Structure 1
Amino acid sequence: MSLSSRRFRYYRWDGTQQIDQLDAEQILDAIADDVLADGDLTRALQRLFRWGSDRPDSPFPGMRDLLERIRERRQQELSRYNLGSVLDDLNQRLDDVIDTERQGIERRLSESRERLARQQARQRGEPPFEASGQASEIASEAEEEPYDESLHELLERMAARKQSQLDALPPDPAGRIKSLMDYEFMDPTARQKFQELLASLQQQMLQQTFQGMQQAIQSMTPEDLANLRNMLHDLNEMLEERQRGGQPDFERFMHKYGHYFGQDLKNLDELLDYLARQMAAMQSLLDSMTPEMRQQLQDALDAALQDPGIREELAQLAYNLGQLMPDNPYAQSYQFSGGEELTLSQAMRLMEHLREMQELEEQLEGVRDWRDLQRVDMDKVRELFGDQLAAEMDQLRQLTRLLEDAGYIQRTRRGYELTPRGVRKIGQKALREIFQHLKKDRFGQHQIDRTGRGGEPSDDSKPYEFGDPFLLHLPKTVMNAVYREGPGSPVRLQPDDFEVYRSELMTQSSTVLMVDMSRSMLYNGCFLAAKKVALALDSLIRSQFPRDNLYIVGFSYVATELKPSMLPHISWDEYNYGTNMQHGFMLARQLLSRHRGGNKQIIVITDGEPTAYFDGEQVRFSYPPTYQTFQETLKEVARCTREQIVINTFMLERSPYMAGFVSEMARINKGRAFFATPDHLGEYVLLDYVANKRTRLR
């Protein structure tokens, strides 16, 4: 299938799709704007960790999204099951035991009738008739045994009595269990089913308290039962002594009975916590039921414990734990609203599952950043919520490691900081975003002073003229000869056939980017756009015009030189007031004086007219700006003009003061002035810079 014939379907990101593993570049792209806006890398990483990214090219969830999905998953469990089905399952198993017994009684009667009939036929000398099924097998085995009507009548009276007992069974499960425990079964299969039911209920009662109880009571020897009663009795005595304020001998108790608990417990507090955790599943199940259902299940479980001593000790243990720990921290009631059925053992596992989900959720709610995730058991996350959520959480855990391994950030005493490579990468991103939105006709070509070195080939070609660089375009040269002479060989070239690449004159320039850092730039939402332009211009010059020189000057109350590596971390504060454009021009002129050749220019990004200037050693600030402020600033513009420095101004706001000042500045300097909104500032600045870098040579 060709690529053009394939069809693709795209869906909106909802957090459930399988995503590729994140790489460091995607993470840096996701935090770049945040770093530029705030200037603090650590805070940007923390926000990314908390909220994730919704970038179309690389979306990934944050901790908030994962927590919400965990809550939704737990709610799905509650909306899936019906706790009332636990009692329904118990009643169905009891019904099955009773039905099996009734069928067994009827089968015994049927076999007895057939046997009596065969006996009577033999006595009359009649040929025996063929019995069917199990009756035939039993008849053949007992063919020689005598069987008379009195034995059959005895069996019928017994069967009638058994049926009456079954008819008289109470309707509730606890009552039926108690009655069936005193009932002598006639059918062995029914007896086995009832014993299995009792064993299951007993296991649920004992294993909810003692993890080491793997043996059913029915299979215990009298000695095993006595040991269990003694352990429960000693445990209750130890808890009662604790209630009285004493110091029970915990080590002696564990030395004797430690195998019942399946864990290495160090003290009585750990034992209490263990018992509370073990009993939480049953307590949660009972608390989640209606009072009527709760009583029925509790009575059924009590009835299943045949040993009255064990039953009494367990009841006393529950009371003592209630006194020592009035509120079990591991037990919680749940509101179920689904229809799927559960057995008792399934319900107990579900309660444990929900408790583990809630504990993990509470642990994750306390997670502040990727460092706290190191303490989270990812295997437990995978077990409870699946591979994808665990993988996404592991991505969050590795945020900083991926960036460090890629060389984009480094850990210092002040926290995480961008490396020079990270700053360049953010600049490349800003440059890429700006050029993605460029339109072909946004700017025309601007005239420049033709001071440059050499020429660079372009993609276009032209007929060769005397004096052109001989950058031969071989395919077009050969084709010109073929068009002239027609097909055939050899191809003979003539001077008119030669075609060469057009070349563009590349200018070498030194630029100062002056960025307004006054208070209004932040209020008007221009500060982030200006920082992105500075980084993008730095990246453009480094990658495409490495011979050019770029300086960045930030100005507010005073002006200062900014290194490109400082740009992402520069943040605005309330003390940055004033627009000292005069000092900015002065500093820019000093920086450009280091270079004798090439073009020199100043690019000014500002949202207001100058409001401050140096008067000797003192800064004068005034708003609205005074005549003196304008004059001192224009004097510095005139000095730049005398040194052949072109000033291009990009205005982010329009005001009468600013329009008048910029118009006068353009008159003096012959530079250009543009009005641009913050969202298109980068396109204007970068395209104008590129357009003034080259002119086509004929």
Structure 2
Amino acid sequence: MADPRRRRLRYAYGPYAGGPDPLAPPYDIREAMDQIGRDVMEGSSPRQALQELLRRGMEGRNGLDELTRQVWERRRDLQRDNRLDGTLQQVRELLERATEAEREALRNEDSDDARFREMQLDALPNDTGGQVRELNEYDWRSSDAREAYEEIRDLLGREMLDQRFEGMKQAMENASPEDVERIREMLDDLNDLLANHAQGQDTTEQFGEFMRKHGEHFPENPQNTEELVDLLAARAAAAQRMMNSMSAEQRAELMELAQQAFGDPRLAQSLQQLDAQLQGLRPGEDWQGQGRFRGDNPMGMGEATRAMEELGQLDNLAEQLAQSYPGARMEDIDLDALAEMLGPEAAASARTLAELERELQRQGLFERAADGSLLLSPKALRTLGQSVLRDVADRIGGRQGERETRRAGAAGEANGATRPWEFGDTEAWSVPRTLLNAQLRRAGGDARALDVSDVEIVETEQRTRAAVALLVDTSWSMVAEGRWVPMKRTALALHQLISTRFRGDDLSLITFGRHAQTVELGQLVGMEGVYMQGTNLHHALLLAQQRLARQPDAMPVVLVVTDGEPTAHLERDGEAFFDYPPAPHTIRNTIDGIDRLTGMDAQFTFFVLGDDPGLAAFMDRVARRCGGRVVNPSLDGLGAEVVSDYLRKRRR
């Protein structure tokens, strides 16, 4: 007989149904950085780019926009499908059942008392609350009628308790007078506890005694009086919002009916006292709000209160997901509430986005400025620069089969000659010459495989340094004509090339609008367009002259990117003068700045954007004066033209 322990086990395979896929990758940092980089290059600030990524989400994970849509859809469905008068409707049905049963019983009696009772029933008030009150002392002839009426009072008591205490409606079903008395005692003890707490007394021992005595009614298991107040205040505020959402007639009926709960007005009075104390202890809760319910599903008072609580949670989630308040962070999102409202998939998406935001900051891709704004870090700028430079290199072309190389420690460019190695030399070995020397030596009878005397190094000549000033126009026309982003991409590509391939060179980034300023790469990338007229090339040339003059051993290179004639210059007092069309003394000051740099042997190239014939003619005259070049690139080709021009000058 086969051993049952060796019996083959059977397995069933199917799709994972336990929530988010545990094997799914949480996020792709590289893809996230690429998306942020594209948005920054399109003119968004780093903070806006990060927020846009979080709103869009990543592949396989919903973004904040989609989660917010689901929150509002859940909120809409809750209000569309339900209405708040379920308790009133139940009371009316029970009241009708009681009076009909009583009338039927009275019709079978042939007595003056029966006729008198029929007159009492006919004289009942029109409103439901008044009818229930008037029938409180009525001596029912029908046992069915009496049972229905008692059910009304029981229902009202259970619904009122269910508004404020979780699970109380089920616990008080078929409640005995002793059960009702214990609830009244609990409410009295609770009101005493809250009154002492409101007066600033230490209620630690009183709270402990209260929970030992009545803890069964609080499955949430609060640990102190403050937690108990938080719990009760949230429910009481939701109950008040539910009342606010009803019509005036409905509110009046419920308030009237509340006095009949369990046949004793003391319950309603205790609950009113509790609500007043909670509102005083937690005035920050939403006690005034309301919701508009217009569906067909009638909800009881407890159920309606929970619906109001759910609406409040959905509103809080919508605010958290919007991330529109100062200092907002993804960690603010209540993942437990999100899972409860929208399911585990939604919570997993929000958790992934929060982890992504933390990881981006942990890896140093963002840093905060002194004013609290978010900036791209040098590491992030290098990543973006690599991407942009690759795009520019693809446009330049002409490098088939050539690899990017870096020679650590190289002090110059190889000139084709070699020489024997000497102590202290750091240049690269010439491998062919070194191996040839070793072979010749061994042919002469020396058995050593390699000797220091065999080594020859590659001779180099001192490489020429370049001091580059990139002057970029930041006047409003650059933004309005769609030239803002190509300008930034150009600066990024040139900065990346110089910082990685020509580290001995110096690059200055100078922006010029109404005024000019020297900026860091991060400032330029994150710069937002501002409506301000003025193209102060004169000021930019002065700053370039100051920067280049500090490096007399470097070849000065001035690259100007602009889309307009100079319309502003810097006065002696430091103020900018602006006029359009360009004033003659603005042109004279600008030409004077170009002449000063020409005297320093600066090499000029002017990249003229747009097709303004007046600008083209002006730049042609300026280029002839300083021996420079004028290039009229397309927007897509601007970066390639600037980088190509720099490399051309560098080779020269």
State TM-score, norm by structure 1: 0.57
Amino acid at match of 1:425: T
Give distance in 1, aligned partners of 2:34 and 2:270.
Answer: 63
Alignment of 1:651-662 (within 5 A): 651-652=608-609, 659=616, 662=619
Could you say which residue in structure 2 is the equivalent of 1:464? none
Displacement of 1:318 after TM fit? 0.9
Could you say which residue in structure 2 is the equivalent of 1:666? 623
Q: Is 1:579 paired with 2:535?
A: no
Distance 1:572 1:49, change over 3 A: closer
Could you say which residue in structure 2 is the equivalent of 1:45? 47
1:24 to 26, 29, 42: 29
The 8 Å contact of residues 638 and 668 in structure 1, kept in 2 or not, is answered as no
Amino acid at match of 2:79: L
- Cα offsets for 1:173-222 (capped at 9, x unmatched): 554695799647667xx998877765543322223344584675575555
The 8 Å contact of residues 495 and 507 in structure 2, kept in 1 or not, is answered as no
- Cα offsets for 1:425-484 (capped at 9, x unmatched): 222454577799x8xxxx9x9xxxxxx9x98489xxxxxxxxxxxxxxxxxxxxxxxxxx
Alignment of 1:286-435 (within 5 A): 286-306=243-263, 308=264, 311-319=265-273, 321-322=275-276, 325=279, 329-332=285-288, 334-336=290-292, 338-344=294-300, 345-361=302-318, 368=325, 372-386=329-343, 390-391=347-348, 393-394=350-351, 396-404=353-361, 408-409=365-366, 418-430=376-388
Give distance in 2, aligned partners of 1:205 and 1:666.
Answer: 88
Displacement of 1:535 after TM fit? 0.9
Displacement of 1:582 after TM fit? 6.7
Give distance in 1, aligned partners of 2:262 and 2:28.
Answer: 59
Could you say which residue in structure 2 is the equivalent of 1:82? 83
Could you say which residue in structure 1 is the equivalent of 2:239? 282
| Structure 1 unmatched ranges of 5 or more | 1-18, 107-155, 446-451, 459-507
1:207 to 139, 162, 165: 162
The 8 Å contact of residues 580 and 610 in structure 1, kept in 2 or not, is answered as no
- Cα offsets for 1:50-92 (capped at 9, x unmatched): 89667999998568x8668745653553344333454334434
Partner of 1:584, secondary structure, is helix
Could you say which residue in structure 1 is the equivalent of 2:594? 633
Amino acid at match of 1:204: E
2:215 to 253, 259, 265: 259
Distance 1:421 1:272, change over 3 A: closer
Displacement of 1:423 after TM fit? 1.2
The 8 Å contact of residues 630 and 661 in structure 1, kept in 2 or not, is answered as no
Give distance in 2, aligned partners of 1:212 and 1:242.
Answer: 26
- Cα offsets for 1:532-588 (capped at 9, x unmatched): 212134457889xx5898653334699998776775367899999643437637866
Amino acid at match of 1:533: T
Partner of 2:560, secondary structure, is strand
- Cα offsets for 1:109-160 (capped at 9, x unmatched): xxxxxxxxxxxxxxxxxxxxxxxxxxxxxxxxxxxxxxxxxxxxxxx879xx
The 8 Å contact of residues 236 and 317 in structure 1, kept in 2 or not, is answered as no
For the pair shown, the structure with the greater C-alpha radius of gyration is 1
- Cα offsets for 1:214-266 (capped at 9, x unmatched): 675575555544444444445566778899x7969784476255436524464
Could you say which residue in structure 2 is the equivalent of 1:533? 490
Distance 1:594 1:318, change over 3 A: same
Displacement of 1:305 after TM fit? 0.9
Give distance in 1, aligned partners of 2:552 and 2:156.
Answer: 90
Distance 1:672 1:97, change over 3 A: farther
The 8 Å contact of residues 80 and 293 in structure 2, kept in 1 or not, is answered as yes
The 8 Å contact of residues 202 and 304 in structure 1, kept in 2 or not, is answered as yes
Aligned length: 536
Displacement of 1:656 after TM fit? 8.7
Displacement of 1:323 after TM fit? 7.6
Give distance in 2, aligned partners of 1:292 and 1:620.
Answer: 71
Distance 1:410 1:313, change over 3 A: closer
Give distance in 1, aligned partners of 2:239 and 2:573.
Answer: 80
Give distance in 2, aligned partners of 1:239 and 1:590.
Answer: 75
Distance 1:294 1:50, change over 3 A: farther
Q: Is 1:554 paired with 2:504?
A: no
Give distance in 2, aligned partners of 1:348 and 1:568.
Answer: 52
Distance 1:341 1:248, change over 3 A: same
The 8 Å contact of residues 514 and 553 in structure 1, kept in 2 or not, is answered as yes
Displacement of 1:354 after TM fit? 2.0
- Cα offsets for 1:497-530 (capped at 9, x unmatched): xxxxxxxxxxx99876543257647876666542
Give distance in 1, aligned partners of 2:279 and 2:646.
Answer: 80
Could you say which residue in structure 2 is the equivalent of 1:142? none
Amino acid at match of 1:205: M
The 8 Å contact of residues 57 and 63 in structure 2, kept in 1 or not, is answered as no
| Structure 2 unmatched ranges of 5 or more | 1-23, 404-462, 578-582
Tell me which moved more, 406-415 or 288-297.
406-415
Displacement of 1:612 after TM fit? 11
Displacement of 1:350 after TM fit? 1.4
The 8 Å contact of residues 553 and 560 in structure 1, kept in 2 or not, is answered as no
Give distance in 1, aligned partners of 2:344 and 2:548.
Answer: 57
Amino acid at match of 1:604: V
- Cα offsets for 1:292-338 (capped at 9, x unmatched): 222333444443413x3xx3253254157448847794434535352
The 8 Å contact of residues 276 and 328 in structure 1, kept in 2 or not, is answered as no
Distance 1:372 1:241, change over 3 A: same
Give distance in 2, aligned partners of 1:21 and 1:580.
Answer: 47
The 8 Å contact of residues 551 and 562 in structure 1, kept in 2 or not, is answered as no
Partner of 1:205, secondary structure, is helix
Amino acid at match of 1:201: L
Give distance in 2, aligned partners of 1:362 and 1:393.
Answer: 14
Partner of 1:605, secondary structure, is strand
Give distance in 1, aligned partners of 2:160 and 2:476.
Answer: 71
Distance 1:73 1:201, change over 3 A: same
Could you say which residue in structure 2 is the equivalent of 1:683? 637
Give distance in 2, aligned partners of 1:52 and 1:660.
Answer: 48
Give distance in 2, aligned partners of 1:32 and 1:58.
Answer: 21
The 8 Å contact of residues 82 and 294 in structure 2, kept in 1 or not, is answered as yes
Could you say which residue in structure 2 is the equivalent of 1:134? none
- Cα offsets for 1:373-416 (capped at 9, x unmatched): 42432110232245565455445534532324556346798876
Amino acid at match of 1:625: T
Give distance in 2, aligned partners of 1:542 and 1:58.
Answer: 37
Give distance in 1, aligned partners of 2:152 and 2:206.
Answer: 36
State TM-score, norm by structure 2: 0.60
